[in-house]
Structure 1
Amino acid sequence: MKLIPWSCFDEIEAYTTCAYDENHQPMNMSYHGDDDALVLKNRQALAQLLNTDLNHMVATFQKHTTNFIEVTANDGGRGMLSREDAFDNYDAMYTRDPELWLWTFHADCCPVLLYCRDQKIVAAIHSGWKGTVGEIVGKVTKHLIENEHCDCQHIYAYIGPSIDQRNFEAKDDIIDLVKQMSFDTSSFYTKKEDGAYLLNSKGLIKKQLELLGVPQTNITISPYCTIENNDLFFSYRKEKTNHRNITLIKLKQPQK
């Protein structure tokens, strides 16, 4: 199993899973419309690779909302054996508890990870176009600043593998919502000759972070596009697949 790391600081670990193993077998991580036993096997293999178990991992049942939730070590294992016990209707999680892996599923949508270094908080966010226009990343970040006392100068962000602007065609229904966001978005879409637009979703997410005071130097944007790099990632737009990659993060146990 291949993992693409976000190398930020030694006190966290973060990766994106790749779509296929060395034998080109799909490493789907989502129970959505697939063989549940195979998905569970893939999840167990991932846990073993990361020297942990499924009781130290947690997932939500994502529904393109802007809802988020704080989770703790007591929530470990939720959403791992099935979707029935996952936190329903949440698209982001954060925790202060070490050794708890937070998952976010994606196949073109933007996975976003946050690390608040001063407060030792990690977050995993699913930002599809609905979450992006709803400013889920900004909402989570603002909550961490205002309610968890995170200093914006010490927040680090990773915008993971997702669809790039050159491949993200959107029509007026989406662009009309983009225009209603809380900041000037005109530089984040360009109109094509056929009347459709190319939308810079990663840029819209980055702007949400910057407007809350997160330094540009603290924001890492993955160079991978899930449409173009579909040898590495599942792409819903290209393949209409139910398969999903995950991007995940944990805070390490402090060294004694």
Structure 2
Amino acid sequence: MKLIPWECFDEIEAYTTCAYDDFHNIMDMSFHNENNQKVLKNRETLAKQLHTDLNHMVATFQQHTTNFKEVTYLDGGKGMYTRDDAFIGYDAMYTRDKHLWLWTFHADCCPVLLYCRDQGIVAAIHSGWKGTVGEIVKKVTQHLIQEEKCLPKHIYAYIGPSINQENFEAKDDIIDLVKQMSFDTSSFYIKKEDGAYLLNSKGLIKQQLLNLGVKEEHITVSPYCTIKDEDLFFSYRRDKSPHRNITLIQRK
């Protein structure tokens, strides 16, 4: 299975899965009421490649919310074999526990990983446009700072493969919500001649982190675009794909 790593520190491990293997087999990772046995086999293949098993991984049933929760080693396996026991309605997780892989599903939405090095906390966040305008990354990071005593100067972030600005066309309904965010967002969208806009969702997420004191040099923004890089990623906007990539992280 092809994996794109986030190379941060030796004490963590993080990757994004690619849409196809070396033989161009579809490597879908999300249950969607068809081919679930194939998805389960793909997940088991990934776990084996990472020298672990599905009982040391956890996934939520994402619903484009700004809800998040702390998970522990005891939650390993939830959402892995079936969607029925996944945590419903949470789009982010964090943990202090080692050897527990946190998953976030995405096609064009943005996966965001956090590593709070001083407290030994990792987080996985799903930030689609609804999560972005709802500032889920801000909410999770602020919680880690205020409640888990993470110092911003020790927080590292990865804004993963997702739709880039040149391909993210948005209408007034989305841009009106962007304008209502808690900071000046005017530099993150460009109006086109036809009245639509091009939206920089990765930039909006990065700004949420900067506003909380995370250092710019500690923020890695993936250059990959899920629309453009069709040989690497599934994309709902491009081809209405029901398939999903995952971005995942663990403490070693």
Scaled to the shorter chain, the TM-score interval is over 0.9
Distance 2:38 2:175 in 1: 38
Matching residue of 2:186: 186
Size of the alignment, in residue pairs?
A: 252
Query: Could you tell me which amino acid in structure 1 is paired with residue 41 of structure 2?
Result: K
Counterpart code for 1:166: E
Counterpart in 1 of 2:117?
117
Q: For the residues of structure 2 that align with 1:22 and 1:82, how far apart are their CA atoms? A: 27
Which consecutive unaligned segments of at least 5 residues does structure 2 have? none
Which of structure 1's runs of 4+ aligned residues deviate more than 2 A? none
> Which amino acid is 2:208 matched to?
Q
Within 5 A, what are the aligned runs for 1:197-212?
197-212=197-212
TM-score, structure 2 as length reference: 1.00
User: Distance between the aligned counterparts of 1:202 and 1:33, measured in 2?
Assistant: 30
Query: 1:107-136, CA deviations, whole angstroms, 9 ceiling, x for partnerless residues?
Result: 010000000000000000000000000000
Q: What's the secondary structure of 1:163's corresponding residue?
A: coil
Q: CA deviation at 1:37?
A: 0.4
Whether the aligned pair in 2 keeps the contact of 1:33 and 1:242 (CA below 8 Å) is no
Which residue in the other structure is 1:31 paired with? 31
Aligned to 2:9: 9
Structure 1 residue identity aligned to 2:132? T
How much has 1:230 moved relative to structure 2?
1.1
Secondary structure of the 1:207 match is helix
- Cα distance, 1:33 vs. partner? 3.7
Do 1:34 and 1:242's aligned partners in 2 also have CA atoms closer than 8 Å? no
Q: Give 1:13 deviation, angstroms.
A: 0.1
Partner of 2:100: 100
SS in 2 for 1:187: helix
Residue pairs, 1:68-147, within 5 angstroms: 68-147=68-147
Which one-letter code corresponds to 1:50 in the other structure? L
C-alpha displacement of 1:26: 0.4
Residue in 2 aligned with 1:59? 59
Tell me the secondary structure at the aligned position of residue 173 of structure 2.
helix
Take 2:198 and 2:187, find their aligned partners in 1: how far apart are those partners? 11
Aligned equivalents of 2:166 and 2:36: distance in 1? 35
Distance 1:6 1:104 in 2: 14
The amino acid of 2:193's aligned partner reads E
Deviation string 1:68-111 (CA, Å, 9 cap, x unpaired) is: 00000000000001111000000000000000000000001000
Q: Aligned AA for 1:110?
A: C
* C-alpha RMSD over aligned residues: 0.4
Residue number in structure 1 paired with 2:43: 43
Structure 2 CA distance, aligned partners of 1:33 and 1:245? Answer: 16
Per the TM alignment, residue 32 of structure 1 is displaced from its structure 2 partner at its CA by 1.5
How far did 1:44 drift? 0.2
Q: Show CA shifts across 1:192-226 (max 9, x none).
A: 00000000000000000000000000000001000
Q: Percent identity?
A: 77
State yes or no: 1:240 paired with 2:240: yes
CA shift, 1:34, in A, is 2.7
Tell me, what secondary structure is at the counterpart of 2:45?
helix
For the 8 Å contact 1:6–1:158, the answer to whether it is kept is yes
CA distance in 2, matches of 1:223, 1:182: 26
TM-score, reference length from structure 1: 0.98
Give the 5 Å matches for 1:168-183: 168-183=168-183
Partner of 1:158: 158
Which runs of no fewer than 5 residues in structure 1 stay unpaired? none
Q: Which amino acid aligns with 2:74?
A: N
Give the partner amino acid of 1:112: V
Asked whether the equivalents of residues 3 and 18 of structure 1 are also in contact (C-alpha less than 8 Å), the reply is yes
- Given that 1:110 and 1:161 are in contact with CA atoms closer than 8 Å, whether structure 2 keeps it comes out as yes
